[in-house]
Structure 1
Amino acid sequence: MGKGYRLTAATGIHKGDREYQQDQVALIAHPRVSGCVLAVVADGMGGRSGGRKASDQVMMTAKQLFERYSPDHDDAGVLLKQIAQEAHLVIKLTAIAAEQEPHSTIAAYLINPAGDCHWVHAGDSRIYQFHGNKLVKRTLDHSYVQTLVDAGQLTEEEANVHPQSNILMGCLGAEEDPPATLHYVPQLRPGDVLMACSDGVWHYFSHHELGSVLSSLSPREASEFLIEKARSRGRGGGDNLSLVIVKLEPLEG
């Protein structure tokens, strides 16, 4: 039985209005298994080199562990949790050596050849799943304002413009173990779109806007459009931006 879809994908990254790039993004095709991909976004924090070191560590850890992953024998959720945990420890060790305080978010999703999909995130980099232009699910940030939203003290809209919206309650490289939250999609379908992105991107869009952009444009066009639009909405004060989009296009015929 065929899967009924093909994957199209793109990554986008821009330093925005910052002097240096601390975000990192990767879309990794499995070295041995076709139809198996891992998408990763990491938003590094902690001084010029500290943040970049931290997001680099996330990428290196993800690549190394994914190369050893076997879709037939291994549990993708366990792998993603392991990536978050190992990257966290490596970042903490870097901090001791460098006397900086590097931290990083992670937002990663893995698509298996059978069409099941697994997510992990820590911090305020997000993963969105749309079907057509409708939001199916998104991650909830490990942030101070999200705890206020959960408690009913702020709306989503208010949280976005709250002065403390950048305060994280958990990430990789901090003292405490990271809150690595997992999510599982049993079966992706043609018409589904997945996007992982840093807060430099999602901060500037409602999910209605994201849905219409992702459903109507190719991943490459959508990533260029979202970066350009976020930059103009940031009016010179925007953060680094990174995103990775995977679209499940229906097969013709």
Structure 2
Amino acid sequence: MTKAFRLIASTGIHKGDREYQQDQVALLSHPRFNGCVLGVVADGMGGRSGGRKASDQVMLTARQLFERYSPETDDAAALLKHIVEEAHIVIRLTAISAEQEPHSTIAAFVINPRGDCHWAHAGDSRIYHFQGGRLVFRTSDHSYVQALVDRGEITEAEANTHPHSNILVGCLGTESDPPITTHLIPQMQPGDVLLACSDGVWHYFSPAELASVLDSLTPREATEFLIDKARSRARGGGDNLSLAIVKIETLVEEKKPPRLAQLTPAT
């Protein structure tokens, strides 16, 4: 029998030092299946209206497909791939009738009621998995500098300050199909923390810093702290910021059988 747990969660978004907000973030509790959660971060690009249209389309697609998803019979990895592929197609169609070239990243995860967690991403918005104050795994960016890191030509630290750190090699809305990288956590455990965020957040923190913050603060406190600290470190040149945090805790119930999972409403 799967041990009961609860999800404590928070989202945050800030336009940073940009004139307009092109990021979008959502943390959705399934309307029919208790304990089934979808988290999505989308970082839109392509001018003021173009970037926002792209990230909006990612969110609209994600909501629509998630509402039709059944964790009892459907494949979560297939759902995430479908979200990426369908949003990409619609963004491409939008570009045909617009002057802008709308693009977007996506970093999305599904937690099923039984505790398995599935990820998919395209671009440089990230998902991190922490356990007990240490990094277990994170997504690998579809970016030029990540390719340099993978080849051993530069370090992770050097990648953050590289002059071409903003160049993506894959995202939604481009002429070529987006890369879709997936990941599976077979069973979430108490003490696990998920962080999904745009590059406007992760650019300013080492994995050790993120691990420490998420281990010591509640999701809401961590959300506020990370946005404030990123804003401070950007020194007036910060990008849009968006993030979603989910922390797994043991659910303790007395006498009556526990429900499998519950989600504290996101803020």
Give the shorter-chain TM-score range. over 0.9
Give the corresponding residue for 1:48: 48
One-letter amino acid matched to 2:156? E
Match of 2:31 in 1: 31
Q: Distance in 1 between matches of 2:220 and 2:117?
A: 21
For 1:82 and 1:65, the matched residues in 2 are separated by 8
User: Is 2:18 the partner of 1:21?
Assistant: no
- 1:44: how far off? 0.1
Partner of 1:131: 131
Aligned to 2:191: 191
Q: Which runs of 5+ in 2 are unaligned?
A: 254-267
Alpha-carbon shift at residue 101 of structure 1 (Å)? 0.2
Corresponding residue of 2:110 = 110
Cα deviation for residue 251 of structure 1 reads 3.1
Matched with 1:82 is: 82
Aligned partners of 1:41 and 1:197 also within 8 Å: yes
CA deviation vs aligned residue, 1:88-124 (integer Å, no higher than 9, x gap):
0000000111121000000000000000000000000
Match for residue 205 of structure 1? 205
Distance 1:60 1:3 in 2: 33
Instruction: Name the structure 2 match of 1:64.
Output: 64
Runs of 4+ in 1 over 4 A off after TM superposition: none
Shift of 1:252: 4.5
State the match for 2:223 in structure 1: 223
Q: Which residue of 2 aligns with 1:180?
A: 180
Percentage identity across aligned positions?
75
Quote the residue 1:165 is aligned against: 165
| Residue in structure 1 matched with residue 263 of structure 2 by the alignment | none
Taking structure 1 as the reference length, the TM-score comes to 0.99
Instruction: Indicate the RMSD between aligned Cα atoms, in angstroms.
Output: 0.9
| Cα distance between partner residues in 2 of 1:67 and 1:230 | 33
Aligned residues of 1:4 and 1:190 also touching (Cα < 8 A)? no
Quote the Cα distance in structure 1 between the aligned partners of 2:7 and 2:198.
Answer: 22
Instruction: Give 3-state SS (helix, strand or coil) of 2:128's partner.
Output: strand
SS of equivalent to 2:97:
helix
- For residues 2 and 118 of structure 1, the distance between their equivalents in structure 2, rounded to whole angstroms, comes to 17
- Pair 59,78 (structure 1): closer, same or farther in 2 beyond 3 Å: same
Does the Cα contact within 8 Å between 2:2 and 2:114 map onto a contact in 1? Answer: no
8 Å Cα contact 1:30-1:66 kept in structure 2: yes
Identify the residue that residue 237 of structure 2 maps to in structure 1.
237
Q: Which runs of 5+ in 1 are unaligned?
A: none
How many matched pairs?
253
What residue identity is the alignment partner of 1:15?
K
**Map of 1:150 onto structure 2:** 150
Secondary structure class of the residue paired with 1:98: coil
CA distance in 2, matches of 1:207, 1:66: 30
- What displacement does 1:5 show? 2.1
Q: Which amino acid aligns with 2:163?
A: P
Q: Letter of the aligned partner of 2:227 in structure 1?
A: I
Cα deviation for residue 174 of structure 1 reads 0.3
Looking at structure 2, the residues matched to 164 and 177 of structure 1 have their Cα atoms a distance apart, in angstroms, of 22
For residues 249 and 205 of structure 1, the distance between their equivalents in structure 2, rounded to whole angstroms, comes to 25
CA shift for structure 1 position 2: 5.4
Alignment partners' CA distance in 2, 1:187 and 1:97: 44
Q: Distance in 2 between matches of 1:71 and 1:252?
A: 24
Residue 3 of structure 1 and its aligned partner are, at CA, apart by 2.4
TM-score by length of 2: 0.93
